[in-house]
Amino acid sequence: MPLDVLKEIFGFDSFRPGQEEVIRAVLDGQDTLAVMPTGGGKSLCYQVPALMKASLTVIVSPLISLMKDQIDSLVQSSVSDAATLHSGLSPEERWEVERRVRTGEIKMLYVAPERLRSLEFVLSLRRSGVGLFVVDEAHCISEWGHNFRPDYLFLPRAVRDLGSPPVLALTATATPRVREDIVASMRLRDPKVVVTGFNRPNLTYRVREVRQKKQKLDHILDVIRTSPPPGIVYATTRKECEELTAGLRRSGVNAATYHAGLGSAERSSVQERFMTDEVDVVVATVAFGMGVDKPNVRFVVHASIPGSLPAYIQEAGRAGRDGEPSECVVLYRNEDVGRRKRLITLNAAGGSEVESFFRALAGVEREGRVSVPPGSLAGLGGVEADAAGIMLRSLEESGLISRGYDLWAEVEVRRVEEEPEGLSDEIAAVHAALPGSGAIPIPDLAGRSGLRPAVVQGALYRMMLDGVLEAVPRGSLVDVRLKTVVLDEGIRRNIAARLKSHDSAAYAQIRDVQNYANLSKCRREHLLRHFGDTEDVAPCAGCDVCLGEAARPVPVTGTPTSVEPTRSAASPVDAALLERLKVWRGDQAREQKVPAYVVLHNSHLEEIAARKPRTVHELGSIKGIGLRRAARYGDELVAMVSGKQEPSGRSAGDTYREHLEVAERLLLAGRGADAVAELARALESGNEEARLAVNDLLKHFADERSTA
């Protein structure tokens, strides 16, 4: 039963709105579209059926980091049959995952959309038998969405070639237009559509008008004062991120920057430290947060206006996933609107550029096809590499070209049977065209056999499977089919019109945001209506308009009040125990090579430190831990709670270091009394080394005080 899986694996007592309905439809084999707000619990809608079904579930997601975290969390719950395939894996790792898929060891496979551009991958999935095809963040298929991904357009083709398994599409973007687009573009068959309410009563919406750029910092500090971190500040440019971070740090806020310009190691380090509350505020471009499932984000401030209302709902929705009161604030400055609009013109390719790119493609087509390595597209069109990708997409959107499965660039072959019998005509033609041994480019083979490259590749693949030959494919080619080669006036107008309608759609989205900012009625209701939700909520008591807040004067700069984690539980958190739990979790995370929050969330640790479970069963009843995870860590945690065990079986001689580490964290958090108790424990060992270490620590803190 779905409910049993929910309890046992995920540790939740009941379903959230919509979840059960989606799960039932999916288990009935129906195509389904689930529209739920960010944080509404969409992942469970496919994870529960996937765990209940015997067949393979394929989940397409645009976010590698998100996939990795979800799988790490599943593994924590002893679900070992989940895996991910993305371009970040080495060939060996990918091979190993594909092997486990073939042998049926894997039940849940997360893949990046571009993986499904590989025909042999799709065929190998088909042989394994896909029972459910999940499209997460399904609005990425819509060119009207705020996050269009051209590779999503290819998914319906892959679904068909997988044997048309049931499809579950999920999104938080619910404008009626995007919803229709998903159903049509994904070719959902008579789908069950489940839309839950979009009202998030615990979020308060505010807009603050900012006249001068430098006032933004004061506004952010104002938010921090009334609604203590953790929180996220979104900025438009990297420079703005860095300036605001520096300003916040000068005011004593523990802030860090996150944007695409940082190395991936640094980005994951910032994310990890935010997840474990080592960083209080992340100032980021929109690159941050897609995969961040942090329950206790208390505020999301947009330091510049968001790009669209759907984008805003998604970004602001990262606040308050735990249901506790949280703030969503937009800082509105007129100049920023102009800047946003200029970004649109900069990003858009001009009609003449697209045309000349198309002519270059048409110049090298053979029988209406162009097969070139992705890297050479740019050279072909005489444009930058990034621009080539954008134009290809623009032509695909205009319906001038279609892009098929990617092809191998070349294959190295060794014939196993010299004169195989019973081959179909096509396969025999390819076999006859093969060299005796060695490598040959696929386009050459196509020329020799008189067949299309895609057909050649299919034939090679068939022969590999049948043991007729051994082949090692190398490299990849983009396979483009031109639907026409002449650009007549009608097509020109079509391209120009499409580009224009894209531009005007983008402008319209900014106008929507402007209208939102200038509202004189309930902001919450306005947002709900924009997403087709008809619930009456005004007056809502949760937006600046309904609260009757007049345009507030710019706050005076000051130091934010000390930042304490907020918690709703009745019993107080045992701070020392909490710190010990964090040390233990750090050890677990290092040992298992996963981020700390994957082992247990901070909210779990706080709950443990407050409720002090005495049995594994009690531990398992804490929300979100789950019986399996409780079984895995229960004995150790229960022993720590009862004070019987030091964290993670470190050797006894080392235990004073544990206490020292905990004491240091407590001192940093300004909890002197708790720290003293911990230092006393460190000294209990009577060890000379411990005494010196304690002295050192105290001296260090005394020095800090006097210099501060």
Residues that bind Mg ion (CB under 5 A): 42
Closer to ligand ADP by CB, 404 or 626: give it.
626
73 binds, among Mg ion, ligand ADP, none (CB under 5 to 8 A by kind): none
293 binds, among ligand ADP, Mg ion, none (CB under 5 to 8 A by kind): ligand ADP
Extract the runs of DSSP E, i.e. beta strands, from 621-667: none
Continuous H helices in 129-237: 155-161, 176-185, 215-226
Half-sphere exposure of 145 (CA within 13 A, CB side): 23
Smallest distance from ligand ADP to CB 321, Å: 5
Report which residue's Cβ sits closest to ligand ADP: 41
Residue closest to 222 by CA, chosen among 523, 552, 541: 552
Q: Cα Rg for the chain, rounded, in angstroms?
A: 29
Closer to ligand ADP by CB, 67 or 641: give it.
67
Smallest distance from Mg ion to CB 102, Å: 28
Report which residue's Cβ sits closest to Mg ion: 42
Cα–Cα distance for residue pair 488/178, rounded to 1 Å:
31
Closer to Mg ion by CB, 294 or 403: give it.
294
Closer to Mg ion by CB, 42 or 604: give it.
42
Residue 380 has phi, psi (to 5 degrees) of: -60, -45
Closer to ligand ADP by CB, 224 or 297: give it.
297
CA 535 to chain centre: 29
Smallest distance from Mg ion to CB 30, Å: 21
Half-sphere exposure of 307 (CA within 13 A, CB side): 20
Cα–Cα distance for residue pair 521/510, rounded to 1 Å:
19
Edge-first strand order for the sheet with 255-258 is 203-209, 326-332, 299-302, 231-234, 281-284, 255-258
Closer to Mg ion by CB, 42 or 206: give it.
42
Tokens at 247, concatenated: 């300003």
Smallest distance from ligand ADP to CB 608, Å: 17
Closer to Mg ion by CB, 42 or 107: give it.
42
Locate tokens 């008189």: which residue? 450
Smallest distance from ligand ADP to CB 19, Å: 6
Smallest distance from ligand ADP to CB 483, Å: 37
Contact 630, 616 (CB under 8 A): yes
Smallest distance from ligand ADP to CB 322, Å: 8
CA 672 to chain centre: 39
Closer to ligand ADP by CB, 198 or 332: give it.
198
Cα–Cα distance for residue pair 681/690, rounded to 1 Å:
10
44 binds, among Mg ion, ligand ADP, none (CB under 5 to 8 A by kind): ligand ADP
Smallest distance from ligand ADP to CB 97, Å: 23
289 binds, among Mg ion, ligand ADP, none (CB under 5 to 8 A by kind): none
36 binds, among Mg ion, ligand ADP, none (CB under 5 to 8 A by kind): ligand ADP
Smallest distance from ligand ADP to CB 298, Å: 16
Helix and strand numbers, DSSP H then E, in the chain: 29, 18
Closer to ligand ADP by CB, 201 or 475: give it.
201
Closer to Mg ion by CB, 317 or 443: give it.
317
Closer to ligand ADP by CB, 152 or 358: give it.
152
434 C-beta neighbours (distance < 10 Å), count:
20
Greatest alpha-carbon pair distance for the chain in Å reads 90
Smallest distance from Mg ion to CB 63, Å: 9
271 binds, among ligand ADP, Mg ion, none (CB under 5 to 8 A by kind): none
- What residues contact 158, with CB distance under 8 A and at least 6 apart? 116, 122
- What residues contact 444, with CB distance under 8 A and at least 6 apart? none
Question: What sign does the dihedral 279-280-284-287 (CA atoms) show?
Answer: positive
307 binds, among ligand ADP, Mg ion, none (CB under 5 to 8 A by kind): none
603 binds, among Mg ion, ligand ADP, none (CB under 5 to 8 A by kind): none
41 binds, among ligand ADP, Mg ion, none (CB under 5 to 8 A by kind): ligand ADP
Closer to Mg ion by CB, 167 or 605: give it.
167
Site of interaction with ligand ADP (CB under 6 A): 12, 15-16, 19, 36, 38-44, 293, 295, 321, 624
Closer to Mg ion by CB, 38 or 276: give it.
38
Locate tokens 């901070």: which residue? 602
Amino acid 499 reads L
Smallest distance from ligand ADP to CB 4, Å: 13
Smallest distance from ligand ADP to CB 11, Å: 8
Tokens at 72, concatenated: 């790490």
39 binds, among ligand ADP, Mg ion, none (CB under 5 to 8 A by kind): ligand ADP
Smallest distance from ligand ADP to CB 579, Å: 24
Contact 355, 495 (CB under 8 A): yes
For the chain, the residue count is: 708
393 binds, among Mg ion, ligand ADP, none (CB under 5 to 8 A by kind): none
Smallest distance from Mg ion to CB 291, Å: 8
445 binds, among Mg ion, ligand ADP, none (CB under 5 to 8 A by kind): none
Closer to Mg ion by CB, 317 or 542: give it.
317
295 binds, among ligand ADP, Mg ion, none (CB under 5 to 8 A by kind): ligand ADP
Cα–Cα distance for residue pair 270/538, rounded to 1 Å:
39
Cα–Cα distance for residue pair 126/128, rounded to 1 Å:
5
Tokens at 234, concatenated: 């979104």
Rounded to 5°, the CA angle 284-386-171 comes to 55
Continuous H helices in 279-437: 309-316, 334-347, 351-363, 376-381, 385-397, 425-433
Cα–Cα distance for residue pair 459/457, rounded to 1 Å:
5
Cα–Cα distance for residue pair 201/542, rounded to 1 Å:
7
633 binds, among Mg ion, ligand ADP, none (CB under 5 to 8 A by kind): none
